[in-house]
Amino acid sequence: MVKLLPVAKLYARVPISNFQVGAVAKVRLSGRSKEFSLFLGANTEFTGQTLSQTIHAEQAAVINAWLQGAVRIDAIAVSASPCGHCRQFLHELETRRSLMVTVQKPDGNGYTTLQRSDLLPQAFCPQDLAVKAGLISSRGYLPKLNLKTFSDDPLVFKALSAAERTYAPYTHNIAGCTIQVSDQKIYTGPYVETAAFNPSLSPLHTAIIRMNMDSLATIGNISRAILVEKPTTISQRGVSELLLNSVAPDIRLEYYEIR
């Protein structure tokens, strides 16, 4: 995992800080197997947007693994000490009690490994908000969703399928996103919440994570972006439009509501 951190850092897009961070998640793709896989993550910043829009490397590694079939995350390695934002995000995982975190030393020579609980003692957690399950649990997908208005667009249905993976136990704001890039590749992402709210990721963020980690090419070649959601006390529409304006200013966000 540590040897792969320099590779993960190559995926970083950091026009604001110029500080690359890489992460590697050790995951299981089957709950019945002892075999594991490694997935990379890197930080992403967005020119012209607030710093709160930034995707952190640990978030990217977790989401990249989850959207490619991970059912359990056992450990994560990172090239720089996790910030409080990331420590809180990792605390949302179903495996938070056993999660191991390896941190590379600043000079690159050696590393330390700690339990997640050592990084964030006395954490504010899902149980404080009466939520028992965590992110990437065995609870599976949400029931099949339907749109308020008819569409036969396959990309809209992909966004709807992504919404069925939503993790939103605090607001119940179900949402999913599809983005298509100019080479016709398609990426989807669901909305992901955390108990502390701020480390949550919009569905456009999670779709961008998949796009970023699939290629070293520069982002900005998005040709379509579709958001489906069931608004509650919050909505993903505004933040998604702002973010899309940063990465693809000529593209309009296509928006559909879920019944």
Count of C-beta atoms within a 10 Å radius of residue 104: 20
Instruction: Say yes or no: 159 and 113 in one domain.
Output: no
Instruction: Say yes or no: 199 and 123 in one domain.
Output: no
Describe the strand order of the beta sheet including 111-115 as a list of residue ranges: 37-42, 22-28, 72-78, 100-104, 111-115
Domain count, the chain: 2
Which CATH number fits the domain that encloses residue 112? 3.40.140.10
Dihedral of CA 220/225/227/233: which sign? positive
pLDDT along the chain (259 residues), means of 10: 97 97 95 88 96 97 96 96 95 93 92 91 92 82 88 97 96 97 91 97 98 78 96 97 94 96
Instruction: Say yes or no: 24 and 125 in one domain.
Output: yes
Helices (H), 52-145: 57-66, 84-90, 116-119
Instruction: Say yes or no: 186 and 92 in one domain.
Output: no
Distance CA 117, CA 90 (A): 10
Q: According to the model, what pLDDT value does residue 139 have?
A: 65
Rounded to two decimals, the pTM is: 0.94
Q: According to the model, what pLDDT value does residue 218 have?
A: 58
Evaluate whether residue 147 is within a structural domain. no
Distance CA 228, CA 43 (A): 26
Q: According to the model, what pLDDT value does residue 138 have?
A: 64
Distance CA 167, CA 134 (A): 9
Q: Which domain holds residue 99?
A: 5-129
Evaluate whether residue 29 is within a structural domain. yes
Q: Are 208 and 225 in contact (CB under 8 A)?
A: no
Distance CA 44, CA 212 (A): 9
Q: According to the model, what pLDDT value does residue 140 have?
A: 63
Instruction: Say yes or no: 166 and 121 in one domain.
Output: no
Indicate which residues carry an active-site annotation.
Answer: 58
Evaluate whether residue 136 is within a structural domain. no
